[in-house]
Amino acid sequence: MAARISPRLIQLTYEAVLKSYWRKNALRSFLRASHVSESFVSSWASDESKRELLDRLFPKLQASDKGKALIFQMARNLSEQTTFPDLRNWEDSDIKIQDAHKAVTELKIYLKTQDNEIKTEKEKRDFRERAKKEKDEIRRFKTDKTKLQANLESMHTKIGTQKGGYEFESWFYELIDFCEIQNKRPYKTNGRQIDGSVTIEGTTYLVELKFTKDQSGATDIDSLKAKVNKMADNTMGIIVSISGYSSVAINDASGSKSTLIILDGSHLYLFLTGAMSFKDIITRVRRHASQTGEAYLPVNKFGG
């Protein structure tokens, strides 16, 4: 079995695990059923994400023939899935299940192709060459920060356009999913368009995304405040404005019992360069707002 393991199969298996299980307990059960050692499963720290756990597990399994055989069996088991019980009863269950189906289908197709390969010397040489080309793909198993950053930079020529705004919205939720932050995609409520929401440490933040050439102004602040004020207690708002804010906007967002925190492009790049997790960035600005009443904390003052 170990001989059938390729970088592409490892990548597809990793993706299928990540997409098929959202709750930690469900993933623990799958890993135990797949004969991953109890000592490893028990080492899962409470603040460690699924992605971080799998980033530790897969390289460890690749280090031995036994581990490679386990990956192969995991791939077989995942490819046989037709339903995804752990993905039900989420606000975005349809999206989660669709993504899981896609990941499992790609794995199933790859396994079938692998099984049907003609065992000629030429076919074997071709397969080895393909595997060699694919080995770099396994360095990161999904959309990594480098790709997220490249995608953001490719949109800069579209700042201020409607198309660019839609692409930025889609990109933002790719980032949020990458960070495994609970979220809801854009929706309407009581006739109001909401750019989505994220939930961190028990607080739900309504999201407002601005992909404009001009700085966001006071009207943008007032608009989100009005939406937040219609919601339940413990609801706040986050504006992410790629071009920053006017001084009037920052003042209007701040103040006693402010319900908003505001981020700009520099906060996105702070995450993309690996300096802080996005969840920690939001928490840092939130803490600053609670301590000072100021809704905006520039990146260059994070140390203060």
121 and 245 together in one domain: no
Q: Which two tokens stand for residue 52?
A: 């971080």
122 and 173 together in one domain: no
d(CA 237, CA 194): 11
d(CA 292, CA 96): 38
291 and 162 together in one domain: yes
104 and 190 together in one domain: no
**pLDDT score of 141 more than 80:** no
138 and 267 together in one domain: no
Give the burial class of 24: count Cβ atoms within 10 A of its Cβ; 0-12 exposed, 13-18 middle, 19 or more buried. middle
27 and 173 together in one domain: no
Structure confidence by residue, pLDDT tens digits, 56-65: 999 999 999 9
Domain boundary among the residues 120, 142, 164 is at 142
pLDDT score for 192: 79
| More reliable by pLDDT, 145 or 25 | 25
Amino acid at 251: N
Per-residue pLDDT, averaged over 61-89, amounts to 93
- For residue 40, the tally of other CB atoms under 10 A from its CB is 15
pTM equals 0.69
Q: Are 60 and 40 in contact (CB under 8 A)?
A: yes
Residue entry with tokens 């490679």: 68
Tally the residues of the chain: 304
d(CA 272, CA 146): 7
**pLDDT score of 33 more than 70:** yes
**pLDDT score of 126 more than 80:** no
The CATH number of residue 284's host domain is 3.40.1350.10
**pLDDT score of 190 more than 90:** no
Helix axes 7-20, 24-33, angle to 10 degrees: 130
Pairing of strands 192-194, 187-189: antiparallel
The residue range of the domain holding 96 is 2-142
153 and 228 together in one domain: yes
**pLDDT score of 275 more than 90:** no
111 and 198 together in one domain: no
Domain boundary among the residues 90, 120, 142 is at 142
Instruction: Report the domain count for the chain.
Output: 2
DSSP string, 198-218: EEETTEEEEEEEE--SSPB-H
152 and 283 together in one domain: yes
**pLDDT score of 3 more than 70:** no
